[in-house]
Amino acid sequence: MRRSNTRGMTLLELLIVLVIMAIIAAITIPIFGGTGPSTTELKSAAREVAAGLRAARAQAITQRTESMLQLDVAARAFTVPPDTRVHTLSPQIDIKLFTAQYDIVNDNIGGIRFYPDGGSNGGRITLASGERKFDVDVDWLTGRVAILE
């Protein structure tokens, strides 16, 4: 009767198998994984825009003057003047602005205006990535800001 001298795999063979698996994973994960932002990142961006809109509305009410959120679609950034901070969003998020014609500065810059009574000119900012999207709506009568999926 002959006995086999092999008793299993060597450490070197296991390391080679692990390296091959790591290479395959490094190649296939980017192919099958989404290259855009996650749903959580997209919703977070929608919440950030909604917070900016609410800040503009609060500013209009407290200072008893018109206030506006200015959105730069190309740069994917917005500001709420007179605050000079620029809030930037992920470059992988597609942004669309729907607002009144007189609040559109050019093809890339526009805004949503709020009035001292809390009302607004109304509008919608759509944040999308692939099939996923969130709409940040502003009611023209009440100025209420809502995030819709």
Q: pTM score, two decimals? A: 0.73
- Please write the tens of the pLDDT for every residue from 25-60: 888 776 665 566 778 888 999 999 999 999 999 999
How confident is the model at residue 5, as a pLDDT? 64
Residue 125 contacts residue 136 (beta carbons within 8 Å)? yes
Report the alpha-carbon distance of residue 71 to residue 112 in Å, rounded.
8
Q: What is the CATH number of domain 39-148?
A: 3.55.40.10
Task: Name the least confident of 29-38, 60-69, 111-120.
Answer: 29-38
Q: What is the pLDDT of residues 72-107, one digit of tens each?
A: 999 999 998 888 889 988 888 899 999 888 888 888
Tell me the domain boundaries of the chain. Answer: 39-148
pLDDT at 35: 62
8 A C-beta contact, residue 73 and residue 95: yes
